[in-house]
């Protein structure tokens, strides 16, 4: 069984709390990402699952087995880090064979397992090369193959693609995801890259200052963030605060200056309560100045290829809107801001 369960996990370094009271279940075959800013405790948490350190409080189980105090080598986990840590004097084949040698596999078994792993990462043709004769992406795939060649129950990846450039990283992300699905291996991936987390995960756990801020599917954490930290960390969010009320069936938010803007139904039943809502830039449109909605003036129009990002100075504050590039506006243009009620979310 390779289900992972963390229950009440905390890790203190002296009086400093690096991870606080984390509860997490990762199902068999699931890929869960730990996403958070630098220093939020991601690597510490992964190290606790790997058995590189022991928790100050709480219990870690794999299936029904309590592994809290089990040394790393007895946990049967595959570990891959950002620094590839390949052995420079060994060939690709020898690098991948290393974990099998340590585990005393027979020569024939090693031959078969390494060949299979090489095929999985599409590097059969490079098995005799040394790491220095490989590109960064190829080196990373060797490190990955070495991480799963011994068929671990669990794969733990700490920013494995962080050293790759953007295009290569996106390619390897797709490969890694396919591989993980094919192997059906329970996986925890650490990243600080929100796009990586959203595109690769079954579920995302957002960590901040050692504490879980939200766990959910990529859609949930992006579209329905539990709080303003998650909203802000997972992309740009326009944030509006005011009191909400129901006017003949439609909800509106009255902002500080008395301006009324459309919003969806708030989380609670009460009228006239102070709320904060977010609108994602892609849900906010710029219309001609004779339309309805708050008024603004385009401060910046940033061309991004398929889309253009507009920064608008408006009567509801500085607003960011992202839309198709054929709807690009000019700097200085007067616009109205509109959005769909259903695209607002309270945090």
Residues that bind ligand ADP (CB under 6 A): 13, 18, 36, 38-44
Indicate which of ligand ADP, Mg ion, none lies near residue 13 (CB less than 5 to 8 Å, by partner kind).
ligand ADP
Q: Which does 18 bind (CB under 5 to 8 A by kind): ligand ADP, Mg ion, none?
A: ligand ADP
Locate the DSSP E strands across 256-316.
260-262, 273-279, 284-287, 295-303, 307-314
Residue 11 or 280 having the CB closest to ligand ADP: 11
Q: Is the CB of 83 or the CB of 119 nearer to ligand ADP?
A: 83
Q: Residue 214 binds which one of ligand ADP, Mg ion, none, with CB within 5 to 8 A depending on kind?
A: none
- Count residues near Mg ion (CB under 5 A): 1
43 vs 139 by CB, closer to Mg ion:
43
Could you tell me the smallest distance in angstroms from the CB atom of residue 39 to ligand ADP? 4
If the CB atoms of residues 15 and 288 are measured against ligand ADP, the closer one turns out to be: 15
Nearest approach, Cβ of residue 18 and ligand ADP (Å): 4
243 phi/psi in degrees, rounded to 5 = -100, 140
* CA 188 – CA 208 distance, rounded (Å): 17
Ramachandran quadrant class, 13 (left: phi over 0; alpha: psi -120 to 50; beta: rest)? beta
- Segment contacting Mg ion (CB under 5 A): 35-43, 89-97, 139-147, 175-183? 35-43
Residues 31 and 202 sit within 8 Å (Cβ to Cβ): yes
The strand pair at 238-247 and 273-279 is best described as: antiparallel
Out of ligand ADP, Mg ion, none, what residue 33 binds, judged by CB under 5 to 8 A for its kind, is: none
User: Pseudo-torsion of CA 15, 20, 26, 32, nearest 10°?
Assistant: -90
180 scored as a contact of Mg ion (CB under 5 A): no
CA–CA dist 158, 163 (Å, integer)? 12
Q: How far is the CB of 157 from ligand ADP (least distance, A)?
A: 12
Strand, helix or coil for residue 280: coil
Residue 38 interacts with, from Mg ion, ligand ADP, none (CB under 5-8 Å by kind) = ligand ADP
Nearest-angstrom CA–CA distance, 252 and 259: 10
Determine the residue with CB nearest Mg ion.
Answer: 43
**Tokens 């490989």 sit on residue:** 134
Q: If binding is defined by CB under 5 A, does position 43 make contact with Mg ion?
A: yes
In the bound state with ligand ADP, the residue whose beta carbon lies nearer, of 13 and 303, is 13
**β-bridge pairing 250-255 and 238-247:** antiparallel
Binding span for Mg ion by CB under 5 A among 41-49, 101-109, 125-133, 321-329:
41-49
d(CA 136, CA 220): 33
- Integer CA distances (angstroms), 175 to 197, 215, 241, 251, in order: 15, 24, 42, 45
Nearer to Mg ion, 197 or 279 (CB): 197
3-state secondary structure of 147: helix
Site residues, Mg ion (CB under 5 A): 43
């Amino acid at each position: 069984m390779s289900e992972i369960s963390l229950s009440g996990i905390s890790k203190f370094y002296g009086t400093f709390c690096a991870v606080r009271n984390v509860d997490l279940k990762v199902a068999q075959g699931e890929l869960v990402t730990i996403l958070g800013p630098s220093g939020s405790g991601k690597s510490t948490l992964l190290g606790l699952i790997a058995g590189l350190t022991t928790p100050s409080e709480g219990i870690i189980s794999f299936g029904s087995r309590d592994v809290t105090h089990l040394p790393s080598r007895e946990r049967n986990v595959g570990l891959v880090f950002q620094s590839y840590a390949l052995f420079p004097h060994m060939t690709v084949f020898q690098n991948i064979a290393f974990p099998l040698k340590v585990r005393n596999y027979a020569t024939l078994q090693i031959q078969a397992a390494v060949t299979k792993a090489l095929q999985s990462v599409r590097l059969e043709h490079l098995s005799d090369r040394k790491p220095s004769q490989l590109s960064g992406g190829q080196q990373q795939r060797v490190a990955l193959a070495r991480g799963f060649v011994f068929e671990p129950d669990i794969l733990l990846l700490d920013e494995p693609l962080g050293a790759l450039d953007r295009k290569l990283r996106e390619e390897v992300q797709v490969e890694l995801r396919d591989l993980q699905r094919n192997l059906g291996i329970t996986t925890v991936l650490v990243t600080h890259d929100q796009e990586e987390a959203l595109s690769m995960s079954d579920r995302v756990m957002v960590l901040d200052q050692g504490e879980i801020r939200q766990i959910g599917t990529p859609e949930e954490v992006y579209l329905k963030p539990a709080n303003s930290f998650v909203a802000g960390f997972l992309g740009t969010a326009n944030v509006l605060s005011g009191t909400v009320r129901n006017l003949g069936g439609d909800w509106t938010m009255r902002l500080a200056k008395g301006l009324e803007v459309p919003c969806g139904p708030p989380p609670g039943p009460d009228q006239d309560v102070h709320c904060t809502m977010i609108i994602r830039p892609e849900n906010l449109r710029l219309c001609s100045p004779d339309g309805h909605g708050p008024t603004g003036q385009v401060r910046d129009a940033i061309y991004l290829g398929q889309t253009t990002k507009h920064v608008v100075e408006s009567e509801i504050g500085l607003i960011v809107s992202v839309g198709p590039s054929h709807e690009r506006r000019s700097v200085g243009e007067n616009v109205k801001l509109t959005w769909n009620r259903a695209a607002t979310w309270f945090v």
